[in-house]
Amino acid sequence: MGGALVHWLIPHHDVMVCDLNPDAVAACVAKGAKAAATLPELARACDVIFLCLPRSANVEQALFGAGGLAPALTAGKIVVDQTSGLAHDTRRFAERLAEQGVTMLDAPVAGGVPSAQAGTITIMVSGPQTALDTVMPAFRNMTPKIYPASETVGDAQAVKTLNNMMNMVMRVTTLELAALAVKQGAALAPLTDALIAGAGGNFTTRTVLPAIVANRSVGDFRLLLMLKDNNQALALGAACEVPMPLSALARAVTQQNIHIIGPEAGLDEVNTYMQQACGVRFAKGTGDLSETDTQKLTATITMALAAANRAICYETLSVAAALGMNLRSFGSILNNGSAWSRECEAILDELDSGAPCPRTIGETVQALRAIDDMSVAHGVTITMTGAVRAIYETAQKTLGARASVSQLARIYEANGGVTLSAPSEALA
């Protein structure tokens, strides 16, 4: 990831690189960068230092470990941490650097290495505005998709962690529902087109399903890193006392993949795992259902997926609200990265306008019950969708079948002790 981002800086800036992997350094030097033999050399030479490392422990070592950056950094310099790290660790690092007059920003990225290589990566950033103004030209060299989270260091990393958690929940849910449809004879290609266009549209329907149809990869992000992000998201929820049942299930799938496939497992392996877990092969969808049956099945799958997308969005927004984030800003970042869904877009509009979604909790429960019946009849595992059904069944008993699915927010407010309403300008 760091090498892909450096590629965009080299034509516009004097760039120096340092890495534990000499091949990574050589690749950047070949493009025009200079090599630093040590981290202190890099710290003395550069006004802005970007760190793009696996986890916060690596950042701490690079900054404050033996032969690290910090002793050579002087007042006025800026450190930009693009690691998907722990927000509280990053805040601690920022406090230590501030004692030297050094400013820190956190600016994690979303979208994977292919997006970084294409110059379309999503950058979330938080920290002092003056430092952001200085670094913004470099960010713009990397991508046009830059989203400030707040002036509190660490908030962007919290957003990134929650973004990846949502992505995993939607991936698992979408794949198991697609498997259920294929087991009944639906062909994956037309099903994918319908899901993308409908209320169930999300990042997985838009990117992962088309890749499966075309038998290509969408970037094999390592599951060990996804597991780290999933654990951090659940830790945030626990610290805020916000229940995250769907996130916990998705984390379990991530962990299971690592146990089954090994530590080198990547996100592409999740597609294979879900087919095995569901007893289905996507390539074997016959497409021999009648047009009427296809339309009925697609409508049910779409409603179930939309229900899941809405539930995970409320689950994640509840954590953001508990952390004091601006929900509109937070949601906008989600919808410009790998946590996008059409339901999340709708929720943000509903928060602003107060206009409820026309779908009711009752008809959603009917669709989810139909999914359960299909799973039993065809022997297809639907773990995530089953949990979504439990959430909507609870909402129906509490709010009534005629209540809009928008009222599901009330359940999350009660369970998380938060308010999901129009964002306060004071938090912007």
Question: To which residue do tokens 């950094």 refer?
Answer: 73
d(CA 15, CA 170): 38
d(CA 388, CA 395): 11
Active centre residues (catalytic): 160
Render 174-210 in DSSP notation, one character per residue: HHHHHHHHHHTT--HHHHHHHHHHSTT-BHIIIIIHH
d(CA 413, CA 420): 7
Cα-based torsion angle of the residue sequence 319, 324, 327, 333 in order, rounded to the nearest 10 degrees: -80
- Who's near 114: CB < 8 A, 6+ residues apart? 218, 219
Question: To which residue do tokens 């005629």 refer?
Answer: 402
Render 369-383 in DSSP notation, one character per residue: HHHHHHHHHHT---H
- Residues of the chain by 3-state class (helix, strand, coil), percent to 5: 65, 10, 30
d(CA 67, CA 99): 19
Q: Are 418 and 327 in contact (CB under 8 A)?
A: no
DSSP helix/strand/coil, 360: strand
- Who's near 67: CB < 8 A, 6+ residues apart? 38, 39, 40
Residue 200 CA from chain centroid, whole number: 17
